[in-house]
Each structure stands twice: as C-alpha cells, then as structure tokens.
Amino acid sequence: MFILGGVAYEQQVSTDQEHLEETGTTMAPRTRDSLISWWKLKPHCLVYLLLALSYLLIIILFGIVISNELKLPSEVKKLHTQLQINNELFPCGSRSREWEYFHGGCYFFSVQDATWHTAKDHCEEKNSTLVVIHDLPKQNFLQSRTRGHRHWIGLTDENNEGQWRWIDGTSYRTSFKNWKTGEPNNYDRGEDCALMDGPGIWNDMSCNSKAFYVCEKPLPS
C-alpha cells in the first residue's frame, strides 16, 4: 500500500510538474483548485464552527445553572439549621457569647470593677445601659448571677439628692425596689449611686467607689 501510494504520489507530482512546465505557472492545478474551494468554503466553516461553540457554551452554562439550583436548597437548609442551633445556644448572638439571655433581654456581667460612671460608659460602648431592675424575677436572676459580689445598677440621685432616677427613664416612685434596711442613707452626704450589695439587696454608695457592673440590652431582632 505504501509503495503503491508512493508511486501514485510520484505520478501526481510528475503530472503537476509537467503542467507547471507547460503552462509556466507556479502552482499545480489540483492544489490551486483545492485552495480556491477552501477559500470559498471558509466563511461557511467559520460560521458553523462558531455556532457549534455557542451551542456548547450554552449547554455548559445551562448545566452549571441546573447544578447550582440543585445545590441551593441543601445549602439553605444547612444554613437555616446552623442559625437555629446558634439561636438556641446563643440567643443574644453567636458573636456576643459573653451576654446572657433572660426574659427577652441580654445581660453582661463585668469581670473587672469600675466606678459608676466608668461602668456606665463601658455599657454604652457595648450599645447597652447599666441594668434597670423592673421586677422581682429580674432581681432574682441578677441576684443569682452576681453571687454576693457588689454590682452597679442604673440608679442614681446624683443630680438631685434624694430624687432617685433610673437611667432608662423608668419611674422610680412606682417601680420595684429592693433597698437594704436603712438604705439609701447617703452616708457622709456622698452616696449617689446604687449597687446590688451582698446578697443582692440595694445600697447607695459613692459613685467613685469601684464595683462590678451589669449591662443590659434588648434581644437582637
């Protein structure tokens, strides 16, 4: 086959060479005809090639979209489950794990002591306020968590002696109270800030004294 093919090729070359010599042209007729045909067909070939590539691209993109659509529900479900777990474990937010949840509110118990005004500033830096005690359940919760250590609360008569005010504007006169017997006594005429003393009962002390403190903020929506 190879030998026969080689003979045919040599014959063709010889024929083309003879033609070139006869006509004085520089290109064999069959080669020239082939090139002319190819140049005529070239635009059509390019169009078909581009169409084929376009279809292929569309099929690939369609496959990717379908694949993502199928993945999405499982990813959403996984995220939803993770959020539920986080909400159950950390209702005040997974990034606020030092905050404790109680009855719709979040509470921060300091591990360092500070003056009343510094404590107030620290709470505000955390987008919260010193705690306001509205009722006995909240008092009991705070009492159990403060474990007998002194903690500042958001109650002061600094602006007007004897006129106690909660820092969130809650009415002092009509609201819950838990003063220690004989308190507030404004001892030495210099006690204007309230704290939970000893077993949780309240006492007024100098605002410049140092104690731990409790901040509170609403449950994140």
Please give the structure tokens belonging to residue 81: 């489950």
Q: Does 82 bind Ca ion (CB under 5 A)?
A: no
- In the complex, the smallest distance separating the C-beta of residue 158 from Ca ion, rounded to whole angstroms, is 7
Q: Does 100 bind Ca ion (CB under 5 A)?
A: no
109, 204 contact by CB (below 8 A):
no
Q: Binders of Ca ion: how many residues, by CB under 5 A? A: 9
With respect to Ca ion, which residue has the nearer C-beta, 22 or 188? 188
Phi, psi of 28 (to 5 degrees): -65, 145
Please give the structure tokens belonging to residue 20: 């070139």
Helices (H), ranges, 90-129: 116-125
Options 130, 204, 215, 216; binder of Ca ion; rule CB under 5 A? 204
For residue 196, the one-letter residue type is M
- In the complex, the smallest distance separating the C-beta of residue 167 from Ca ion, rounded to whole angstroms, is 15
With respect to Ca ion, which residue has the nearer C-beta, 100 or 191? 191
CA 144 from centre of chain:
33
Q: Does 216 bind Ca ion (CB under 5 A)?
A: no
**Contact track, Ca ion, 33-72, x by CB under 5 A:** ----------------------------------------
With respect to Ca ion, which residue has the nearer C-beta, 48 or 187? 187
- Using CB under 5 A, which of the segments 43-51, 170-178, 179-187, 210-218 binds Ca ion? 179-187
Q: Does 163 bind Ca ion (CB under 5 A)?
A: no
- Using CB under 5 A, which of the segments 13-21, 60-68, 83-91, 196-204 binds Ca ion? 196-204
Query: What is the C-alpha separation between 191 and 204, in angstroms, rounded?
Result: 5
The helix, strand and coil proportions of the chain, stated in percent and rounded to the nearest 5, come to: 50, 20, 35
Beta strands in the chain (DSSP E): 99-102, 105-109, 129-130, 151-156, 165-166, 193-197, 201-205, 212-218
- In the complex, the smallest distance separating the C-beta of residue 122 from Ca ion, rounded to whole angstroms, is 22
Residues that bind Ca ion (CB under 5 A): 157, 183, 185-187, 191-192, 203-204
